[in-house]
A = this chain, B = another copy of it.
Amino acid sequence: MNKKTRVAVFVSGSGTNLQAIIDANIPNVEIVVVVSNNPNAYAIERAKRHNIPVEVIDHRNYSSREEFEREIIKKLEPYRVDLIVLAGFMRILSPFFVRAYKNRIMNIHPALLPAFPGVNAVRQALSYGVKYTGCTVHFVDEGVDTGPIILQSVVPVYDDDTEEKLLERIHKEEHRIYPEAIRLFAEGKLHIEGRRVFIRD
């Protein structure tokens, strides 16, 4: 029997990407813990409904980012995590944390990186006037939304789009490519060379 890939999903909010990953039932992947910095995140309910252990680590209880992150690392230890998946996790991870899980942290961003990094990516895209945007799954490096790209998906921007309509179109693609990226990781198919990620058997 193959060893399952043990995944921790980090959340702060409603957890729709968490739900998509749960629903994808990825072979040989087990979500072993959900970590939330927000004790009121709806994602916690989703985890409980699926009997996934939850660790709430409220950043407001820690005097520094490093203290907060040391606590996360400590809490993660017994779960022997192979991969951390950021799913709407609203805290920036420091280089200290990123180095501890080098090439084992994924994030999803609602734009075709390197376009529109940072917050309000959908609003940024809409007001810039691009005709296509999308979403990007990438490994997390020490910058903000700068790490090696694993998968992207493209969606059109229509003349009569609102931020809400466009976001909905992007979310649909996120819920498709995030589980796909995790599957590729679990199957050992992702190979990082410099800043490029190649998919190989």
Interface residues of A (CB under 8 A from B): 112-116, 127-132, 134, 148-149, 151-152, 154, 159, 194-200
Contacts of A115 in B (CB 8 A): 112, 114-115
Copies in the complex: 2
List 13 A-B residue pairs with CB atoms under 8 Å apart, sorted by A's residue number. A112-B130, A112-B132, A113-B130, A127-B194, A127-B195, A128-B149, A128-B195, A129-B149, A129-B194, A130-B152, A132-B134, A159-B198, A159-B199
B-chain residues with CB within 8 Å of residue A132 when the two chains form the complex: 112, 134, 152, 154
Q: A112-B112, A115-B114, A115-B115 are contacts. A129–B159 as well, Cβ < 8 Å? A: no
B127 touches A152 (CB 8 A): no
| Chain B, residue nearest A160 (CB) | B198
Q: A112-B130, A159-B198 known; 6 other A-B pairs, CB under 8 Å?
A: A112-B132, A114-B115, A114-B116, A129-B197, A132-B152, A159-B199
